[in-house]
């Protein structure tokens, strides 16, 4: 949400341009409620206004951009209802994945998860690095059941949850989430599958408490729920 934007390489395609703008919204580089200028974005990314306009239409369809007639184009504010829907989908997919994992857990995947948790412990002050490892960890959990590709299948809805989680990380340091990841992995390794599932369920639901703290301080970042 810093106003200072670092120059980046020009996106090589329309798809890459859309992905770049989308990621700026999810990462909060483009903050909820921020005014979007086609001219400024085009200059920033080294492209013409036409592809920018087309990408903004796509982002509007995804719920990340809002157009107010006679006023302007804005980054959509975080919608708690969409966050709740995304969390519901993610929880269902991830807990189902653990339920379907075989009794003999893939040793390579377990080693990959253990290495991931170890690397997370060095990211307490680096949110971007933690978020990348967090995604890798949850993909790894799905890999235990052979459904790692499901992580990408739910990417569209998950993005709304990811944006809210970024806000939540302003309230809770990654250390709390890292400890939860370690506990989930320990339960799996110890043969306590049901405990691992319950820990995972609580872990993915924690976002609600975190974002409520943010909404209490900065309600302007959130869409009304009435």
**pLDDT tens, 131-187?**
999 999 999 999 999 999 999 888 878 888 889 888 888 777 899 899 999 999 999
Question: Selecting from 1.10.510.10, 1.20.1090.10, 3.40.50.2300, 1.20.120.530, what CATH number does the domain 80-221 have?
Answer: 1.20.120.530
Could you tell me if 103 and 114 are in contact, meaning their C-beta atoms sit under 8 angstroms apart?
no
| Confidence band, pLDDT 50/70/90 cuts, at residue 114 | very high
Domain ranges of the chain: 14-75, 80-221
Q: Residue 91 is encoded by which pair of tokens?
A: 């929880």
| Confidence band, pLDDT 50/70/90 cuts, at residue 215 | confident
Position 216 scores a pLDDT of 87
Statement: 14-75 belongs to CATH 1.10.1040.10:
no
Q: What value does the CA radius of gyration of the chain take, rounded to a whole number of Å?
A: 19
Alpha-carbon dihedral sign for residues 145, 193, 111, 181: positive
Q: Residue 186 is encoded by which pair of tokens?
A: 């320990």
What pLDDT, in 10s, does the model give residues 88-104? Answer: 999 999 999 999 998 89
Alpha-carbon dihedral sign for residues 31, 37, 40, 46: positive
Prediction pTM value:
0.83
Tell me which of 3-12, 20-29, 81-90, 150-159 is least confident. Answer: 3-12
């Amino acid at each position: 949400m810093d106003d200072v934007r670092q120059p980046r390489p020009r996106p090589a395609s329309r798809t890459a341009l859309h992905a770049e703008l989308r990621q700026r919204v999810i990462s909060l580089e483009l903050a909820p409620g921020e005014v979007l200028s086609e001219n400024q974005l085009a200059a920033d990314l080294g492209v013409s206004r036409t592809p920018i306009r087309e990408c903004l239409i796509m982002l509007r369809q995804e719920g990340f951009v809002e157009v107010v007639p006679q006023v302007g184009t804005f980054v959509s504010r975080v919608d708690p209802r969409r966050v709740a829907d995304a969390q519901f989908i993610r929880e269902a997919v991830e807990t189902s994945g653990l339920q379907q994992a075989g009794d003999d857990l893939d040793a390579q995947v377990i080693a990959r998860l253990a290495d991931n948790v170890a690397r997370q412990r060095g990211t307490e002050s680096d949110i971007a690095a933690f978020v990348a490892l967090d995604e890798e960890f949850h993909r790894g959990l799905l890999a235990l059941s052979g459904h790692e590709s499901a992580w990408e299948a739910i990417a569209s809805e998950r993005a709304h949850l990811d944006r809210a989680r970024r806000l939540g990380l302003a309230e809770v340091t990654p250390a709390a989430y890292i400890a939860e990841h370690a506990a989930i992995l320990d339960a799996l390794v110890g043969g306590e599958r049901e405990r691992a599932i319950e820990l995972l369920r609580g872990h993915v639901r924690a976002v609600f408490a975190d974002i409520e703290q943010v909404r209490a301080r900065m309600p302007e970042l959130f869409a009304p729920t009435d």
